[in-house]
Chain A
């Protein structure tokens, strides 16, 4: 005889009922029949908790019969003499039925909760991994790997319709069209060779083996999570593209207005001065021409940063050299230089560093009287170089904004400049690992721009 779960349940129920009947028989002299009847609730609860509703109801029925036959007078018959005892027996059966139903529901709830907790851990782990992914293909691959691990089925991503039989092809299409699990062993086209799981916003996964009904909610939940992840990646990419587009638009607009103005004003001066033909106009023409030159350098620099075309030739540089060369290019600056003779060399591309220093000196010249302090010092993390002017300083809170493209600070409208210079300082700096920061002089007038060179 094969031992099946239902046989075990029946034998257990009968054993328990026999035990309760024995105990009940021993107590009939001392207790009311109704109290003894309550004892039978014990096997009903135990059986229904372990084996479910039907087993519980069966136990209730057999208990009622056993109670009637063995314990209710007249004993060893199924007749019931006292109407009170009839009520007791019916109540016993009703209570047994209700108890087994409740116990069964409890059992199911406990079982469900166990399954869901395990699934939830699986789903949470999966979600955490795909949330960090930036490529829909990677998400699909991870989903396929997870399915393979859970079901020991072979998993194909985006199966090729041409290689499918008719039923598989129909199941695949149905899965995509209706967004549900289809194919082998499911309610829809169960005869197909494969089980198809659609992924929202992505493609289709084909499993080579059926999935037990109990596993399907998990499989479906994982596919939904993967779909969310793919959707998120797609939206992020779209968003980035839109942002980039807006930024390009803004750049173009700002470039046109700012550069249009900045190119035109020195040109106006140059043409006007040349037309007067006065020899004393020559220095003014030269100044304006240099302004134009710097603007063009900055435009080219910004174009290089935008295009990501910065090829570096890093070498050890003596900041004394670099500052001297920059001062050669920005005239009309009186520099107060404090560069210690034992200042460590820094590593940078000499040409880009030169451009940064020229822009910082030019910025200092424009916003102050032309008196600039240049201070170098060795610090724990490397070398810092301050370039400080004696102008009005930076408005509080603008220490970062000042490095943005076209960030002409409020109140600086009458100072010529394209708003590119400091953006280039930051752009070239970050390409070379040189930190850039801005602030105001401690206890005095003027802004301080600091370059931080790593060791």
Chain B
């Protein structure tokens, strides 16, 4: 979605400039806001397609801002830029509706990959029916999973987990999100279910289950289905 407008929200001018360089080089248009209130103002007036938000803003709680942005615009791609050790804050931001996060100091390529994945979620028509990553194909309509062309039969929970990850391919999904989507609301804390199912999926789908490349864990946050080249 080249040409999309990205709103950069950070109180530090040097970080805004750096982010702006990264996104404009990739073909996006960038606008900047140094505070939460100016961000909300620009959200209403400039109608950006994506937002990069630093949670440590001087005038407003970052999580509160995420919630109000999500309420004002359910479709905008929302990416949090956060400090390394703020795991709980990242999880809270994701549960409040942020699409993804990058950790400061961030890697430009990684940031752009996250941005692309988040923008794709909002692209219409809705996400493709077949998700391909590396040698794995997931058909979300026929519920067929193939690895290197041969069909892999999965138990319902494992398929449900894989499908949920595939529907949001490239984006991190929190433990809570996955547990509630696959096992139901009552199991939001049962991380062990998730670990067991993720390990089973890897044994069946990864080229080297000891070096998972397809289903990537983010410590303390969640899982991400990586979009690998074929």
> Among the listed stretches A78-86, A158-166, A316-324, A396-404, which one makes contact with chain B, having 4 or more residues with CB under 8 Å of it?
A316-324
> Among the listed stretches A125-133, A254-262, A345-353, which one makes contact with chain B, having 4 or more residues with CB under 8 Å of it?
A345-353
**A439 to B158 Cα, complex, angstroms:** 41
Q: How many A-B residue pairs have CB under 8 A?
A: 62
Quick check: is B167 within 8 A (CB to CB) of the other chain?
Answer: no
> Among the listed stretches B5-13, B17-25, B149-157, B211-219, which one makes contact with chain A, having 4 or more residues with CB under 8 Å of it?
B211-219
Which residues of B have CB within 8 Å of A339?
Answer: 210
B85 close to A300 (CB less than 8 A): yes
- Binary contact readout A61-79 vs B (1 if CB under 8 angstroms, 0 otherwise): 0000000000000000000
The closest CB in chain B to the CB of A321 belongs to B217
**A300 to B202 Cα, complex, angstroms:** 35
Quick check: is A293 within 8 A (CB to CB) of the other chain?
Answer: yes
The closest CB in chain B to the CB of A318 belongs to B195
B195 close to A317 (CB less than 8 A): yes
Tell which of B87, B209, B211, B212 touches A351, judged by Cβ atoms closer than 8 Å.
B87
Q: Which of B61-96 contact A (CB under 8 A)?
A: 84-85, 87-88
B191 close to A337 (CB less than 8 A): no
Nearest-neighbour CB distance to chain A for B214, whole angstroms, equals 11
Tell which of A315, A337, A341 touches B211, judged by Cβ atoms closer than 8 Å.
A337
The closest CB in chain B to the CB of A290 belongs to B105
Quick check: is B131 within 8 A (CB to CB) of the other chain?
Answer: no
Quick check: is B161 within 8 A (CB to CB) of the other chain?
Answer: no
Quick check: is B29 within 8 A (CB to CB) of the other chain?
Answer: no
Tell which of A320, A325, A349 touches B209, judged by Cβ atoms closer than 8 Å.
A320
Query: A339-B210, A350-B87 known; A324 and B216 CB under 8 Å?
Result: yes
Which residues of A have CB within 8 Å of B85?
Answer: 297, 300, 351
A324 close to B211 (CB less than 8 A): yes
Nearest-neighbour CB distance to chain A for B92, whole angstroms, equals 12
**A321 to B211 Cα, complex, angstroms:** 8
Quick check: is B203 within 8 A (CB to CB) of the other chain?
Answer: yes
Nearest-neighbour CB distance to chain B for A265, whole angstroms, equals 19
Quick check: is B4 within 8 A (CB to CB) of the other chain?
Answer: no
What is the interface residue range for chain A against chain B?
20 to 34
Q: Which DSSP category, helix, strand, loop or mixed, fits chain A's interface?
A: helix
Quick check: is B120 within 8 A (CB to CB) of the other chain?
Answer: no
Query: A297-B84, A351-B85, A354-B219 known; A324 and B212 CB under 8 Å?
Result: yes
Query: A300-B85, A313-B88, A315-B191 known; A341 and B219 CB under 8 Å?
Result: no
Tell which of B87, B216, B217 touches A318, judged by Cβ atoms closer than 8 Å.
B217
Tell which of B105, B195, B216, B217 touches A289, judged by Cβ atoms closer than 8 Å.
B105
Query: A337-B211, A341-B203, A345-B195 known; A321 and B88 CB under 8 Å?
Result: no
Nearest-neighbour CB distance to chain A for B16, whole angstroms, equals 20
- Binary contact readout B183-225 vs A (1 if CB under 8 angstroms, 0 otherwise): 0000000011001001100110000011110001111100000
Which residues of A have CB within 8 Å of B199?
Answer: 318, 320, 341
Which residues of B have CB within 8 Å of A338?
Answer: 210
**A353 to B202 Cα, complex, angstroms:** 22
A325 close to B217 (CB less than 8 A): yes
**A318 to B216 Cα, complex, angstroms:** 12
A349 close to B220 (CB less than 8 A): yes
Tell which of A320, A345, A353 touches B219, judged by Cβ atoms closer than 8 Å.
A353
B210 close to A320 (CB less than 8 A): yes
Q: Which of A211-229 contact B (CB under 8 A)?
A: none
A321 close to B203 (CB less than 8 A): no
Q: Which of A245-286 contact B (CB under 8 A)?
A: none
A321 close to B220 (CB less than 8 A): no
Query: A297-B84, A300-B85, A351-B87 known; A320 and B220 CB under 8 Å?
Result: no
**A320 to B219 Cα, complex, angstroms:** 11
B interface residues with partner A (beta carbon < 8 Å) = 84-85, 87-88, 105, 175, 191-192, 195, 198-199, 202-203, 209-212, 216-220
A interface residues with partner B (beta carbon < 8 Å) = 289, 293, 297, 300, 313, 315-318, 320-322, 324-325, 327, 337-339, 341, 345, 349-351, 353-354
Q: List 8 A-B contacts (CB under 8 A).
A: A318-B198, A318-B199, A320-B209, A320-B210, A320-B212, A321-B219, A337-B211, A354-B220
Closest 10 CB pairs of A and B: A321-B217, A350-B220, A350-B219, A354-B219, A316-B192, A337-B210, A351-B87, A339-B210, A315-B191, A325-B219
List 14 additional A-B contacts (Cβ < 8 Å) besides A297-B84, A317-B195: A313-B87, A313-B220, A316-B195, A317-B219, A318-B195, A320-B202, A321-B217, A322-B219, A324-B211, A324-B217, A325-B216, A338-B210, A349-B220, A350-B87
